[in-house]
Chains A and B, each alone.
Chain A
Amino acid sequence: MMAEYSPEYVGTVTRYVFVESPSMTPGELALRAYEASEGVLIKETCFGLQVTGDPESVDRLIEEIRTFDPSHIFVKDRGFPPGDPRRCRANLGGARPGYLGHEREFRILRYITRGLEELDRRGEEAEVPEEPAPPVREKKPKLDIKRLQELIETEES
């Protein structure tokens, strides 16, 4: 028989705050965020913060957090509240599901930072000289029949 489910943190939103900055660590970010938190739940992580609270308070806090280091702080929504036993690695062990995706994009953040700074520098003249990249739908090369044969033979041996 299926058990009943009573959710926690109903009506709140949770957001991740990532910091990839040469001048600010997640610890410093957390300290400054606590000062401005006004009742929003803040959890420090290795990459930044998780903030949880009612939508208006979280929006206000995020707006303030972004001003600390605008081009090095990145924010995204999270579906689960912090420490949820279904996601928290304290219960599951290993990396939290979703962490590997973050890790992959984290490596690209420095290029995005560069883009944001460059557009800021150009200001109003930030017209894109070239059109946005046209739709790219590359066809993957088909598997060569000889290669397929090799794969089958390797598998069989």
Chain B
Amino acid sequence: MAKVFIYPATSLILSDLVARFGHKPLGAALGIRERIQTAGVDSPPLQITPEEPKRGLKYAAVEVPSGVRGRMAIYGPLLEEAEAAIIVTDADLAFGCMGCARTDELILFSLRQSGIPILELKYPTNEEEGVQFVAAVKKFLAGLENGGEA
């Protein structure tokens, strides 16, 4: 079972396909869950405390806005853990404020720099593309070193 980072990190489709074919999807929910279930200072809604931008310094320079560093405190450990990644390049649902947008850019940059196997796709717009999408994901996951059920 390989750990596969998914982008968009909240994607239902990617999360499901990765798990369905026997691997572990790494998405935003895992990082959020870790914070939600850790006791500390109350900082709703996502339990992002002033500590997070400090942790984010590992992934972004000090002059990078704290919004990006705070988000990178969630995604950075997942990126380090990832053994492969699947990226949907036309994910219009992954929009957000400038902090989200810049974090997304940094995530994609970090993934491409990391040298792990990456599959880049577009969302299907018809049934034929749907078949190709699923087939491409299945083939990619089957080709990963840590096996899986694909």
List residues of A whose CB falls within 8 A of some B CB: 2-7, 9-14, 16, 18, 66, 74-81, 84, 86-87, 97-98, 100-102, 104-106, 108-116, 118-119, 126, 128, 130, 132-138
State the interface size on chain B (CB cutoff 8 A).
57
Q: Is the CB of B134 within 8 A of A74?
A: no
Q: Is the CB of A76 within 8 A of B139?
A: no
Contacts of B97 in A (CB 8 A): none
Q: Is the CB of B130 within 8 A of A76?
A: no
Select one of B44, B89, B120, B126 contacting A111, CB under 8 A.
B126
CA A112 – CA B13 in complex, angstroms? 8
Given A4-B42, A79-B32, decide whether A133 and B132 contact each other with a Cβ distance below 8 A: yes
Q: Is the CB of B133 within 8 A of A115?
A: yes
CA A77 – CA B32 in complex, angstroms? 10
Contacts of B35 in A (CB 8 A): 79
Contacts of B8 in A (CB 8 A): 101
Q: Is the CB of A77 within 8 A of B29?
A: yes
Q: Is the CB of A132 within 8 A of B42?
A: no
Q: Is the CB of B40 within 8 A of A114?
A: no
List residues of B whose CB falls within 8 A of some A CB: 8, 10-13, 15-17, 19-20, 25, 27-33, 35-47, 89-90, 92-94, 118-127, 129-136, 138-140
Chain A residue at minimal CB-CB distance from B127: A114
CA A136 – CA B121 in complex, angstroms? 7
Select one of B27, B37, B44, B132 contacting A115, CB under 8 A.
B132
What are 23 A-B pairs at a CB distance below 8 A?
Answer: A2-B42, A2-B43, A3-B41, A3-B42, A7-B38, A13-B33, A14-B33, A16-B12, A75-B19, A77-B15, A78-B29, A86-B46, A101-B8, A104-B92, A108-B124, A110-B130, A111-B130, A111-B133, A115-B124, A119-B138, A130-B132, A132-B135, A138-B89
Chain A residue at minimal CB-CB distance from B29: A77
Q: Is the CB of A137 within 8 A of B12?
A: no
Q: Is the CB of A74 within 8 A of B31?
A: no
Chain A residue at minimal CB-CB distance from B8: A101
Q: Is the CB of A108 within 8 A of B41?
A: no
Chain B residue at minimal CB-CB distance from A133: B121
Q: Is the CB of A133 within 8 A of B139?
A: no
Least distance between B119 CB and chain A CB atoms (Å): 6
Chain B residue at minimal CB-CB distance from A126: B135
Chain A residue at minimal CB-CB distance from B126: A111
Chain B residue at minimal CB-CB distance from A73: B16
Least distance between B103 CB and chain A CB atoms (Å): 16
CA A151 – CA B36 in complex, angstroms? 44
Given A76-B16, A79-B32, A116-B134, decide whether A87 and B45 contact each other with a Cβ distance below 8 A: yes
